[in-house]
Amino acid sequence: MILNKGTITLDVRACRLADVLGLIGTGTGIRIAASDDLSPRLISTLIEAQPVESALRQLVGGTDVFVLYSADGSTQRLAAMWVYPRGAGQDIAPVPSQLWASRQEFEAQLTDQDPEVRGRAIEELIARSGESALARVLEALADPDAPVRQRALDAALDAELEVPLEQLEHLAINDASAEVRLRALQTLEQRPGTSATIEAAAFDQDPDIRGEAENILARLKRPPR
């Protein structure tokens, strides 16, 4: 891809349309959201020194497209584009971004500087993708911001994602946030072979965690009725 004074040259060979659009969006600053349902079919095309908007129209021919033009002084510029499979945009209307953003956009938000954005992004990914978001959950559980880790853990457990036992044990003992340690500890009660970790939590510096660990141990040692 070559960008030069508002024109673009593309030599596309066997690439997904969504990937090509993402590359153009990164290079031009235009926010381009390709629907997750967009065809994975590979495309090949050569576009030589055309205006960016003209090249985009050529690429998205045969799809449903919504565009946003933003005021730029006395003129307008193409600011955003949403691309859907043919016929899929018939009943679509403008809505808040958390409702229309693609999975790729939420994944990009996981590295945003704002912890609120990162926390909301991992919650949305879990809600949309379920178990397939687990890899992103594990990354979020290592986030430097405690509320992000807590939101990731809460959302994952509420969605019944199978968070690895070793990750839960690590959080229950080592996480800097007492809230995260407590939630992880409470989850360990339902997992076999975790008594050693729960016993270690009984010596936690936080009194609530110590009390919860002792209660769990008492329940685990109680003979079944």
Say yes or no: 65 and 128 in one domain: no
Q: Give domain status of residue 224, yes or no.
A: no
Tokens of 66: 């919504």
CA–CA gap between residue 214 and residue 219 (Å, rounded): 9
- Percent helix, strand and coil across the chain, each to the nearest 5: 50, 20, 30
- Is the pTM higher than 0.75? The answer reads no
Read off the tokens for 188.
Answer: 């360990």
Assess contact for 34 and 17: CB atoms under 8 A.
yes
| CB count in 10 Å sphere of residue 44 | 9
The verdict on 75 and 148 lying in the same domain is no
Mean pLDDT by 10 residues, the chain (225 residues): 87 91 89 84 90 92 89 84 87 59 76 91 88 92 96 94 95 96 94 93 96 93 61
Same domain, 127 and 188: no
Q: Report the domain count for the chain.
A: 3
* Domain shared by 174 and 140, yes or no: no
- The CATH number given to whatever domain includes residue 12 is 3.55.50.30
Same domain for 10 and 80? yes
* Residue at which a domain ends, from 23, 54, 87: 87
In angstroms, the CA 168 to CA 72 distance is 50
Q: How far apart are CA 118 and CA 171, in angstroms?
A: 19
- Domain with 191 in it: 164-219
Q: Which of 57, 87, 117 is the last residue of a domain?
A: 87
Residues 16 and 78 in one domain: yes
Cα–Cα nearest to 136, from 149, 146, 44, 83: 149
